[in-house]
Structure 1
Amino acid sequence: MEYEKPLFFEIMSYAVHADRDVVDMVSGNPDWEPPQSLRDGLREYADFDQSEFQYAPSEGLRDLREEIAARRGVDESQIVVTNGGGEANYLAMARALERGAGDEIILTDPVYPYYPGKTSMLGGTQRFVPTDDDGTLDPAAVRAAASDDTACIVVNSPNNPTGAVYPEETVRELVAIAEAHDAILVSDEVYDHYDRSGRFSSALSVDSDHRIVTNSFSKTFAITGFRVGYAVFPEQHVEAAKARHMLVNVATTRPGQHAVLHALRNTDPAYHEANRQLLAERVDTFTDALDEAGAEYTDPDGAFYVMARFDGYPGTVANTKALIDDAGVAGMPGEAFGDAFDDWFRFALVTPRVEAAADRLAERFG
């Protein structure tokens, strides 16, 4: 089977090799500092005994799993620590498909493009449900799309790329739809610390054997390079997920897990609030410039992204590259995220140069 290379890499490479200064707004790599407690945990680890430099337990360090379990209100035996949120989603989607309860995976449109890629890799069939214009998801649309062939429903809240946040009633309805069709809801909650609406609700708030929650510390602590994530499985799915995880990755990084544990135990909540405030200010700066440019845009309630549409300038790959050349701003083409927003662009507000990018777009389109 041939796999399509994600467009992220093509656009990033084009921007890096451009003949001018470019503001990178392609990927969600936070530019702010991790908490000091995380750096302290890494330094502490460097002086550990040599035995601590070997394989970690495959399912993750017990202390870390216990810390996560206490925070999420589950048993530590339900948690598998993974190689980032990407592997957590892979394990969850694989578990949904391998039960033999169907081969269809319901995805939203627009969608984070790695979900369709994983669906193809796992031999599943993609079925898309469009969101509303503001990125919110109507459970009735999911219910209409679901059938006995549905193995899995994958959602992401706060959402990449729209910034929408799903409230409790939406999450409960999605779990109920999964239960009605013997499917599994996979709820990717990697941006949970970047909810600015106060409406975020974890799928863990619903007691069900038909939901798997995935998360990662990549965004939470601004450490996308550490690759420490986790999935919370219902008890009957844990052993199968652990077996696949062991075969794919053996285990994830021991020093990274230790540093994350140290950060969980020693980071003041003010750290997260400061980052949310920083992003709120960047959203205001960026959308003010989009107003000057006469653009239509999403007003995100969470995550790192703004989607924008410029009249007469659709978000194709060719126009994304032209925007790099003409304005020195690198975003992502809307067509990378599906059909519903294929004439839009997505911009990641994870650069201290948001104001410069905003000015360039206002000048280009204003």
Structure 2
Amino acid sequence: MEYETPLFFHVMEYADRADRDVIDMVSGNPDWEPPQALRDGLHEYADLEPDQFQYPPSDGLRELREEIAARRGVDTEQVVITNGAGEANYLAMARALERDRGDEIVLADPVYPYYPGKTTMLGGTQRFVPTDETGHLDPADVRAVASEETAAIVVNSPNNPTGAVYPAETIEALVEIAEEYDAILVSDEVYDHYDLSGTFSSALELDSEHRIVTNAFSKSMAITGFRVGYAIFPPDLVENAKSRHMLVNVAGSRPSQYAVLQALRETGPAYYEQNRELLRERVETFTDALDAAGAEYSTPQGSFYVLARFEDYPGTLENVERLIDEAGVAGMPGEAFGDSRRDWLRFALVTPRVEEAAARLATYFN
């Protein structure tokens, strides 16, 4: 079986080799501070007894799972701590396919490239449903492709790369479709703290045995390197997920989980709101410059990405490399996210140099 390396790595390596200063707008690594309580938790951890430097429970520190369960309104036994949201989605999609209800995974287009990649790795087949011009998914379109072969419907809200935030009625309709076809809705909610619209709705608000919710602290606490995520499974699906997690990972990082627990307990809403406000300012700065450059663009309702289309400049890998060489701005080619946004480029607003990048783009395209 052939696995395709995601284009993220190619673009980042190309930008690193560039013979000039390049502003990185490729990867979703928040550039702002993590919670102070997280730093304090790490310092505290360093002085613990040696037994605390050994394997944690495979499914995660009990206290962290309890904290997540209490916040999300589920039973602790439904929560599995994972190696970031990436592993959480892998476990969720694997459980959906292991049920032998079909081998098709329904995905939105544009799509976060790791979903189709995981589908291939797990032996599934992709079925793509185009979103509308704002990035929203119409449940009627999903229903039109759903069948007895549908193992899972995978959605991401707030969305990467479109910035769309799916309203409650969309999530509810998708759960109903999953129930109708005995499939699983996998709801990746890793950007839930970056809802700029006030319309985000979690699939956990619906009581169903046909949905798995995944999340992580990578984005919300600006700690992508800590690799602490989680998945919340229906009771009848969780045990096999724990077994697969144990066989693949043995366990996660105890110090990372310890620090995240401290931060969860001690970080108030103000931390998250200040980061959303910073993001709102960056969206305005960047889209103003895109206006000046005569570009068409998406204004994100959530997450921290902007899709932009420049006249006669399709979103190919070749054009991304050209933009790095000639403008000093690194984005992602639209073709990396599927067929429907091939003419577009995606930019991540997680750099303090957003204003400078915007000015470079405006100059380059004028």
Task: Report the TM range for the smaller structure's normalisation.
Answer: over 0.9
Q: How does 1:171-320 map to 2 (within 5 A)?
A: 171-320=171-320
Deviation at 1:2, TM superposition (A): 1.5
Residue-by-residue CA offset, 1:61-87 (whole Å, 9 max, x unaligned): 000000000000000000000010000
Q: Which residue of 2 aligns with 1:10?
A: 10
Residue-by-residue CA offset, 1:233-280 (whole Å, 9 max, x unaligned): 000001000000000001110000000000000002100000000000
Residue-by-residue CA offset, 1:32-77 (whole Å, 9 max, x unaligned): 0001000001111111110000000001000000000000000000
State the identity as a percent: 75
Q: Which runs of 5+ in 2 are unaligned?
A: none
Letter in 2 for 1:125: T
Letter in 1 for 2:260: V
What SS class does the counterpart of residue 212 from structure 1 fall into?
Answer: strand
What SS class does the counterpart of residue 108 from structure 2 fall into?
Answer: strand
Give the TM-score normalised by the residue count of structure 1.
1.00
Q: Which runs of 5+ in 1 are unaligned?
A: none
What SS class does the counterpart of residue 48 from structure 1 fall into?
Answer: coil
Q: Which residue of 2 aligns with 1:158?
A: 158
What SS class does the counterpart of residue 222 from structure 1 fall into?
Answer: coil
Letter in 2 for 1:306: V
Letter in 1 for 2:223: I
Q: Which residue of 2 aligns with 1:73?
A: 73
Letter in 2 for 1:2: E
Residue-by-residue CA offset, 1:93-148 (whole Å, 9 max, x unaligned): 00000110000000000000000000000000000000001101111100111000
What SS class does the counterpart of residue 115 from structure 1 fall into?
Answer: helix
Q: Which residue of 2 aligns with 1:44?
A: 44
Letter in 2 for 1:186: V
What SS class does the counterpart of residue 41 from structure 1 fall into?
Answer: helix
Distance 2:51 2:193 in 1: 34
Across the two proteins, how many residue pairs are aligned to each other? 366
2:135 pairs with 1:135: yes
Distance 2:152 2:329 in 1: 37
Distance 1:343 1:314 in 2: 4
Q: Which residue of 1 aligns with 2:356?
A: 356
Letter in 2 for 1:22: V
Give the TM-score normalised by the residue count of structure 2.
1.00
Structure 1 runs of 4+ aligned residues shifted over 2 Å read: none
Q: Which residue of 2 aligns with 1:93?
A: 93
Deviation at 1:344, TM superposition (A): 0.2
Distance 1:172 1:219 in 2: 25
Q: Which residue of 1 aligns with 2:365?
A: 365
Deviation at 1:348, TM superposition (A): 0.2
Deviation at 1:326, TM superposition (A): 0.7
What SS class does the counterpart of residue 218 from structure 1 fall into?
Answer: coil
What SS class does the counterpart of residue 236 from structure 2 fall into?
Answer: helix
Letter in 1 for 2:153: I
Deviation at 1:225, TM superposition (A): 0.2
Deviation at 1:196, TM superposition (A): 0.7
Distance 1:350 1:261 in 2: 25
What SS class does the counterpart of residue 182 from structure 1 fall into?
Answer: coil
Instruction: Say what the alpha-carbon RMSD is for the aligned residues.
Output: 0.4
2:105 pairs with 1:105: yes
Letter in 1 for 2:43: R
Distance 2:173 2:251 in 1: 34
Q: Which residue of 2 aligns with 1:53?
A: 53
2:332 pairs with 1:338: no
Distance 2:268 2:61 in 1: 23
Distance 1:189 1:27 in 2: 18
Distance 2:138 2:300 in 1: 17
Residue-by-residue CA offset, 1:154-184 (whole Å, 9 max, x unaligned): 0000000000000100000000000000000
Distance 1:251 1:329 in 2: 38
Residue-by-residue CA offset, 1:288-310 (whole Å, 9 max, x unaligned): 00000100000100001000000
Letter in 1 for 2:225: G
Distance 1:239 1:253 in 2: 21
